[in-house]
A and B are shown apart, each in its own frame.
Chain A
Amino acid sequence: MYSRAYKALISAPPLLWVGLFLLFPYALMFAHSFFLVRDGSLVHHWNLQNYRALFTNPLYLQVFLRTTRIAASVTLASLLLGYPLAYYLSFHAGPRKQILYQLVIVPLWVSYLVRGYAWKTILGSDGVLNGFLQYLHLTDEPVSFFLYSPFAVVLMLTHIYTPFVFLPVYAALEHIPRPLVEASQDLGANRRVTFLRVILPLSIPGLLAGATFAFVLSLGDFLAPLLVGGPSATMIANIVQSLFGAAYDWPLGAAISVCILLITVSLLFTTERLEKRWSFK
């Protein structure tokens, strides 16, 4: 057995790390959300004005709803792309499985920024997509709504987060014992029924984990709207960023952050419980 001193010694660094760089900043943020800015300087005076502003100013609610909508679209699109891909790889790819798996993973090694700029190049008015459409004479002049729209943000985030959906779904599918699939067919179920009654229910934990990744990561994204979104696709994180930056209203920014944090944490908690409910030994 390990001595108490040894245990304390070994657990001190991570505890210190979490305390110093996670819990302490959260506490600071939480405290700031109850302060005020008056005449360009921070006033340490406890009040609820920031939260009141959040719920009364329709602008914040509007941006928040848009953010949720974009995150939900990204989640749905990533699932629609990632799940069939994972299903194909796990059940039907045969010997090509490993190479295809690597091909899905490789984009994760490319910087997020690089991929953002790539989409900018593809979607822009003199970009690859418009050039192609004009070459085919499908359009006479550049289509402008590809770039700087919520659509562009959804497209870029879907591209980035699909592997995050793919991975947990693939892991869940790989864990389904193949005799279960055979048993289902043996009992008279064709492929479609086997998928709906056996494979899909048993992959729900992976599906939930993937959906949570896509939704939570999209919810807090600020680079995609910045790069390809434009003013019509401003998301809640952009508001926070500008409040902490140019607007110099840390308390309001902190209040929004606290709200996002609460939403995220309760979401994680809920999906965690759902995943437990759907996992069977």
Chain B
Amino acid sequence: MSAGTISPQSEAPLHSALLEVCGIAKSFARVEVLKNISLQIAPGEFLTLLGESGCGKTTLLRLIAGFEQPTCGEIWMSNERLDMLPPYKRRVNTVFQNYALFPHLNVRENVAYGLRVKSTPKTEIGARVEEALRMVKMISFADARPATLSGGQQQRIALARALINRPRLLLLDEPLSALDANLRKQMQSELKALQREIGIAFLFVTHDQDEAMALSDRIALLRNGALEQIDSPRKIYSRPATAYTAEFIGQTNLLRGEIKNGVVRCGALEWKTSEAHGAALFSLRPEAIRIATAVLQLPDAVCFRGVIRVQIYSGASELLEIAYGENQILRARIPATGPLTGEHEFVFSAADAVPVTDSRAASGSRAV
């Protein structure tokens, strides 16, 4: 892994973490679901746990909520040990995957639940429920039963119900996965706006990388119960640490090469590098590759000639499959230009070829 090539746009260190997960592991009947997870959440941060199904992201959420006990490790919330407390004593609240609204209570009673069980004065309950329902634009549904509401409406009620206790951290377990595509996009932006407005830290679980990119301040990518990488969306996309990260988030070309005397050789491609000797793997995003023109000036340009095998048009851009060298294929995404055939001169910047760890060799974690 190369710390030297990391771009300058790194984020500020977390001075005062709101939540700190220290060396958490969890096993169910000898199956290790989480392995030595450590991460921190800053106040007001939107952190997403991203990963394939079964990677342990929901388990980590349930450990923080208190529905499961860690096999080892600790969870701290600003100088208070959290993992010893029962769920009802933690200042975190959860938005459940299928909302889990109480079917025997109407919307108002559902939202008031958290205040009522803490014997809050009646007048205060009324005002705060009203405020919460206004916040999610559901005030006119106060007397409806959950069963009569649509998925998106139930989603809003679940949000209002979870936020009424004024938690310091809100946990969201794939809250948008039950909604159809259009509603999902709309709820995404509403969720993000709401989070900015109220300033509560969100820990959001999803398997959808687009959703993670669109919403998060930082993304924690989990793989087989271990933390693969945790970084801002821009950084995790432009500087993936491992081949797995590069392939999971967006599309990429993985180039296997050999470094000798400060020069990388990947088949027909060659460029200068400061990396150490030996075998290396590089991730090159499709959009980094361009058709070379006289006006296009790239720093450390790497040029090669290739034949366009496949061209897939998708509106604003097109995906090309380029054959070069000895039967090697690179995928390039270029602005839509019209039909292309035959051999062309292509170019990319050496800085865009990011050295990554081979995921098959090690699922190394690089916790920040």
Contact = CB atoms under 8 A, between A and B. Distances in A.
Interface in B67-95: 67, 86-88, 92-94
Given A187-B113, A189-B117, A280-B147, A182 B165 contact: no
Nearest to B98: A179
B117 A280 contact: no
Interface string A160-184: 0000000000000000010110111
Contacts of A184: 102, 113, 117
Given A179-B96, A197-B117, A280-B147, A185 B86 contact: yes
B4 interface: no
A195 B43 CA distance: 34
B360 interface: no
A202 B96 contact: no
A246 to B, nearest CB: 52
Nearest to A197: B117
Given A180-B100, A280-B104, A186 B94 contact: yes
Contact of A187 (B66, B67, B97, B117): B117
Main secondary structure of the interface of B (DSSP, over half): loop
A201 interface: yes
Nearest to B103: A280
A81 interface: no
Main secondary structure of the interface of A (DSSP, over half): helix
Contacts of A201: 104
B76 to A, nearest CB: 19
Interface in B293-320: none
A190 interface: yes
Given A198-B102, A281-B147, A183 B117 contact: no
Contacts of A193: 117
B161 interface: yes
B245 to A, nearest CB: 31
A188 B118 contact: yes
Interface residues of B, number: 26
A188 to B, nearest CB: 5
B196 to A, nearest CB: 24
Contacts of A180: 100, 102-103
Contacts of A281: 103, 147
Contacts of A202: 103-104
A190 B100 CA distance: 17
Contacts of A189: 88, 113, 117
A183 B88 contact: no
A187 B86 contact: no
Given A177-B100, A182-B94, 19 more contacts: A179-B96, A179-B100, A182-B96, A183-B161, A185-B88, A186-B65, A186-B92, A187-B114, A188-B118, A188-B165, A189-B88, A189-B113, A190-B86, A190-B88, A197-B117, A198-B102, A202-B103, A278-B104, A280-B104
29 contacts: A177-B100, A179-B96, A179-B97, A180-B100, A180-B102, A182-B94, A182-B100, A183-B100, A183-B102, A184-B102, A185-B86, A185-B87, A186-B87, A186-B94, A187-B93, A187-B117, A187-B161, A188-B88, A188-B117, A188-B118, A189-B117, A190-B88, A197-B113, A197-B117, A201-B104, A278-B104, A280-B103, A280-B104, A280-B147
Query: What 3 pairs across the A-B complex have the smallest Cβ distances?
Result: A280-B103, A187-B114, A179-B100
